[in-house]
Structure 1
Amino acid sequence: MSHQPNDLQSILPNIADDLLKAPTVKDFANIGAATHAPRFLLLYGSLRDRSYSRLLTMEAARLLEAMGGEVKIFDPHGLPMPDAEPETHPKVVELRELAQWSEGMVWCSPERHGAMSGIMKAQIDWIPLTQGAVRPTQGKTLAVMQVSGGSQSFNAVNQMRILGRWMRMITIPNQSSVAKAYLEFEEDGRMKPSSYYERVVDVMEELFKFTVLTRDVAPFLVDRYSERRETRDLLAKRTNLNAI
């Protein structure tokens, strides 16, 4: 089914035809290619001395660094509960700066009462959807992982997927869920060889690929008709001399 451009208004009367864009392969032709190492922020969801979500996060960090990535792990110790302190709190500022710096993220939480931990959720809640004119997470890649004390479950990773979508992140298809995590790590904190470990390798490899593939084109991928329309309408209001 095809139509001439001058028929567009009759076909889609509620569309501003000058703002509707048909994406083509050519749209990617003039996009630059970053030369720096992919940047990853890793978050974990427990404050315990022997935190298995932290140990799993450290394994993920080693893998990403081995592939050539630049990795930073946020320490949630001292981060206040959301709204308990102002946004100028040093730990909040640190977390938000890291979120802005990153091109991809890994979220790793223990499962508690069938859900992600409060520590994990607090970190995500402190990352704003908007920061001025910037969306700190929009278009960034995301991998989700969880550890469980009992049998394998996917409640925490499923919840984090919902949050990733809400924050307009590109959440990769693969994920990791480590059951009976206390059996999967050596005394020195390193993860034992297992199918669980190999899944972590798979997930980090996939995250790295998606990040390299999308980081330069993310602004184009998340460009939206509704936001272009909103921007134009706001501009029209600001420049409407008849309203003065």
Structure 2
Amino acid sequence: MSLPECLNDMTFPCLDEAEFRIPTAEDLGVTPLEEKPKILLLYGSLRKVSYSRLVVEESARLLHRMGADVKIFNPSGLPLPDDADDNHPKVQELRDMMLWSDGQVWCSPERHGSMTGIMKAQIDWIPLALGSVRPSQGKTLAVMQVCGGSQSFNVVNQLRILGRWMRMITIPNQSSVAKAWLEFDDNGRMKPSSYYNRIVDVLEELMKFTLLTKDRSAYLVDRYSERVETAEQQTKRVGKRM
């Protein structure tokens, strides 16, 4: 897949370069990864001027600057859950991106006090298991939201519940941008603000957690109950052959 179009503009007018840090495995005291961390970004609005998309694009630039490979899923054309087969092209595209990723960023507007249906539909199309593979388990996750009015945390709280249900490692930090329509210029770039600084905080933390956990996620999510179940299934299979 081609790089996100937003990476054509890799300027950072809001960034204080003297204080910007790129997280590294060496600084964390862990073995460097053999490849760049792969981060998938999802947004929750299809409006022509979508502030959740603009936040995701700003995040993609920063993550790329921090050394990550990034992909952004465009939810336009994704059918409603259960209204199409699993082999629908947009469903397959989303699931392939999910499997590709090591970590993710989810950003949704708040609508009627909740995440949008567009955001929830993307998560609902991701099963807990694809054959023997759990596509979301053990991946890191950062959650963000944009608000049309005063600051709220309804959406990030809901996204945290979803992240836990999807067995993802959801980082402690989060971002909520109030009155998002005031925070972007005419070119769709974010203006300097504490909201921008918080987004940088969140992405730094996401990169750190991804560097820490990527090569250890299988161990981190290994479960006693599943080992017991697997052992019982194996015993039954062996018993049938005798």
TM-score by length of 1: 0.85
Instruction: Give the 3-state SS of the residue equivalent to 2:215 in structure 1.
Output: coil
User: In structure 1, how many angstroms separate the alpha carbons of the residues matched to 2:215 and 2:197?
Assistant: 29
User: In structure 1, how many angstroms separate the alpha carbons of the residues matched to 2:240 and 2:181?
Assistant: 68
Contact 1:41–1:71 (8 Å) recurs in 2: yes
The reply to whether residue 85 of structure 1 matches residue 84 of structure 2 is yes
Q: Identity percentage over the alignment? A: 68
Instruction: Give the 3-state SS of the residue equivalent to 1:239 in structure 2.
Output: helix
Shift of the 32–193 alpha-carbon distance from structure 1 to 2, 3 Å rule, reads closer
Contact 1:191–1:197 (8 Å) recurs in 2: yes
Q: In the alignment, what sits opposite 1:117?
A: 116
Shift of the 33–205 alpha-carbon distance from structure 1 to 2, 3 Å rule, reads closer
Q: In the alignment, what sits opposite 1:145?
A: 144
Offset, 1:240: 1.2
User: In structure 1, how many angstroms separate the alpha carbons of the residues matched to 2:125 and 2:180?
Assistant: 28
Q: In the alignment, what sits opposite 1:38?
A: 37
- What residue identity is the alignment partner of 2:117? G
User: In structure 1, how many angstroms separate the alpha carbons of the residues matched to 2:156 and 2:42?
Assistant: 13
Offset, 1:239: 1.4
Offset, 1:32: 7.5
Contact 1:52–1:182 (8 Å) recurs in 2: yes
Contact 1:33–1:216 (8 Å) recurs in 2: no
Q: In the alignment, what sits opposite 1:55?
A: 54
Q: In the alignment, what sits opposite 1:18?
A: none
Q: In the alignment, what sits opposite 1:235?
A: 234
Q: In the alignment, what sits opposite 1:173?
A: 172
User: In structure 1, how many angstroms separate the alpha carbons of the residues matched to 2:140 and 2:32?
Assistant: 17
User: In structure 2, how many angstroms separate the alpha carbons of the residues matched to 1:65 and 1:32?
Assistant: 21
- What residue identity is the alignment partner of 1:185? F
**RMSD of aligned residue pairs (Cα, Å):** 1.3
- List per-residue Cα deviations over 1:173-212 (Å, max 9, x = no partner): 0000000000000010000000000000000000001001
Q: In the alignment, what sits opposite 1:134?
A: 133
User: In structure 1, how many angstroms separate the alpha carbons of the residues matched to 2:204 and 2:73?
Assistant: 21
- List per-residue Cα deviations over 1:38-96 (Å, max 9, x = no partner): 00000000000100000000010010000010000000000000000000000000000
Offset, 1:33: 5.3
Which structure 2 segments of 5+ residues have no match?
Answer: 1-29
- What residue identity is the alignment partner of 2:153? F
Q: In the alignment, what sits opposite 1:28?
A: none
Q: In the alignment, what sits opposite 2:189?
A: 190
Instruction: Give the 3-state SS of the residue equivalent to 2:173 in structure 1.
Output: coil
Q: In the alignment, what sits opposite 1:6?
A: none
Q: In the alignment, what sits opposite 1:76?
A: 75
Shift of the 226–33 alpha-carbon distance from structure 1 to 2, 3 Å rule, reads farther
User: In structure 2, how many angstroms separate the alpha carbons of the residues matched to 1:240 and 1:33?
Assistant: 44
Higher mean displacement: 232-241 or 62-71? 232-241
Q: In the alignment, what sits opposite 1:4?
A: none
User: In structure 2, how many angstroms separate the alpha carbons of the residues matched to 1:124 and 1:59?
Assistant: 22
Offset, 1:34: 2.9
User: In structure 1, how many angstroms separate the alpha carbons of the residues matched to 2:168 and 2:240?
Assistant: 39
Which structure 1 segments of 5+ residues have no match?
Answer: 1-30
Q: In the alignment, what sits opposite 1:212?
A: 211
> Which is higher, the Rg of structure 1 or of structure 2?
1
Q: In the alignment, what sits opposite 1:221?
A: 220
Instruction: Give the 3-state SS of the residue equivalent to 2:92 in structure 1.
Output: helix
User: In structure 1, how many angstroms separate the alpha carbons of the residues matched to 2:55 and 2:31?
Assistant: 34
- What residue identity is the alignment partner of 2:96? E
Displacement over 2 Å in runs of 4+? 31-34
Shift of the 134–52 alpha-carbon distance from structure 1 to 2, 3 Å rule, reads same
Contact 1:116–1:159 (8 Å) recurs in 2: yes
Offset, 1:232: 0.5
- What residue identity is the alignment partner of 1:174? N
